[in-house]
């Protein structure tokens, strides 16, 4: 299948981008970061094309459905949303070095999807329970949420590294030009958490609507649902601390790392630890 081929190229392209971003920091060459940005945009284009192709291919197989139905497809989409959210943040702020901390997450998601022996990349038809437009809305919004949190996690790492690094005085210094100021980073961490929180909320809501039409209950405390609630509560905690008690960037950055752990647990925990309704295709 053409889509599988493109996706394997995309996986290596992300590795290349992450490496270029890293080299630009290590060797202090901003043109490397510029190249990285260009390649990342091109890769995102290829990635988009591959997802659309996979969609088309499922129709050619005679049971077309949106490519968001199993773990493989979800990981591919996860990487796509992370890259998209990151590139938008980069475009808005003009700070390229953040890629060092975010694009590797895209690469890891793609690599995990491609190389893990227990993840099948085969396009299979949908079982009746998964045939729902609410499910498509649920998956898309959840992953946009996850991507917001992933970006925020990358930025938090950067923030923590930066605060431990002496601020160079000159505005022209390389470090400052490539990495945003702590204050800017703090704001960006907050903004990306907001994106994540908004979409996670919509994701949980659309998931509840889907569960209600499929099983008659909008909330059944299955482990994945519960973990999404835990994630939601952690970020609600961060937002309240920030808004009502004026927590510092450092507290927020550390909690944002904790939050992303919960995101990963929500996403993958049930597959390995506590199986439930959502265990992709295993039901």
Partner 1 sequence: MSIKKKSIGEHVFDFFASVRLSLILLAGVAAVSILGTLIPQGEEPELYARYLGPRLFDIFESLGFFDMYHAPWFLFILLLLALNLIGCSLKRFPKTMGILKAPVRLDEGVFKKDEFHYQIKLDTSFERVKTFLTDVVARRYPNRPAQDDSPGKLMLYGEKGGLSRFGPYIIHTSVLLIFIGAFIGTRWGFEGRLTLSEGERSGLIHLKQTDLPKELGFSVRCDKFSVSFYENGMPKEYRTDLSVIEGGRVVEKAAVRVNDPFTYKGITFYQSNYGTMGDNITLGVRPAAGGEEKIIKLDPHMETPVPGVGLIKLVNFYPNLMKMGPAVKLAVAGDAEEPEPVVLFQKAPDFDKRRQAKYILTLKNFTERYYTGLQVNSDPGVWLVWLGCGIMVAGFLITFYVSHRRIYVLAQSQPDGTVITFSGRVNRNKLAFKKELDRLCRTVQADLQKAE
Q: Residues interacting with partner 1, by CB under 8 A?
A: 62-63, 124-125, 127-129, 131-132, 184, 187, 191, 194, 197-198, 201-202, 205, 208-210, 212-219, 221, 223, 226-227, 229-230, 233-234, 236-237, 240-241, 243-245, 274
Please count the helices (runs of H) and the strands (runs of E) in the chain: 10, 0
Q: Between 59 and 215, whose beta carbon lies closer to partner 1?
A: 215
Q: Between 24 and 73, whose beta carbon lies closer to partner 1?
A: 73
Smallest distance, partner 1 to C-beta of residue 199, A: 10
CA–CA distances in Å: residue 272 to residues 39, 255, 280: 34, 24, 11
CA–CA distances in Å: residue 123 to residues 29, 71, 81, 127: 42, 11, 21, 12
Smallest distance, partner 1 to C-beta of residue 245, A: 6
Q: Between 176 and 230, whose beta carbon lies closer to partner 1?
A: 230
- The pair of structure tokens assigned to 215 is 């099983």
Smallest distance, partner 1 to C-beta of residue 54, A: 18
Smallest distance, partner 1 to C-beta of residue 159, A: 15
Comparing CA positions, the residue from 226, 204, 205, 100 lying closest to residue 151 is: 100
Contacts of 160 (CB under 8 A, 6+ apart): 250, 253, 254
Distance CA 249, CA 283 (A): 42
CA–CA distances in Å: residue 63 to residues 59, 124, 125: 6, 8, 6
Smallest distance, partner 1 to C-beta of residue 109, A: 23
């Amino acid at each position: 299948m053409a889509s599988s081929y493109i996706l394997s190229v995309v996986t290596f392209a992300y590795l290349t981008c992450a490496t270029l971003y890293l080299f630009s920091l290590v060797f202090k060459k901003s043109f490397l970061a510029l190249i990285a940005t260009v390649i990342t945009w091109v890769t995102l284009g290829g990635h988009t094309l591959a997802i659309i192709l996979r969609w088309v291919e499922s129709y050619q197989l005679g049971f077309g459905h949106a490519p968001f139905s199993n773990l493989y497809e979800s990981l591919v989409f996860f990487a796509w949303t992370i890259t998209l959210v990151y590139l938008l943040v980069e475009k808005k702020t003009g700070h390229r070095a953040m890629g060092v901390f975010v694009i590797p997450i895209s690469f890891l998601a793609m690599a995990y999807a491609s190389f893990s022996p227990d993840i099948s990349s085969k396009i299979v038809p949908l079982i009746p329970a998964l045939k729902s437009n609410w499910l498509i809305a649920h998956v898309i919004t959840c992953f946009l949420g996850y991507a917001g949190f992933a970006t925020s996690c990358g930025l938090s790492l950067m923030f923590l590294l930066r605060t431990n690094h002496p601020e160079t005085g000159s505005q022209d210094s390389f470090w400052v030009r490539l990495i945003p100021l702590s204050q800017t980073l703090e704001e960006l961490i907050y903004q990306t958490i907001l994106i994540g929180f908004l979409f996670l909320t919509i994701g949980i809501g659309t998931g509840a609507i889907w569960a209600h039409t499929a099983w008659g209950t909008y909330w059944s405390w299955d482990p994945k649902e519960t973990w999404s609630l835990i994630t939601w509560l952690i970020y609600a905690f961060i937002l309240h601390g920030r808004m009502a008690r004026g927590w510092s960037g450092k507290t927020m950055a550390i909690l944002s790392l904790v939050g992303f752990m919960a995101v990963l647990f929500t996403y993958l925990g049930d597959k390995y630890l506590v199986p439930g309704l959502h265990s992709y295709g295993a039901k």
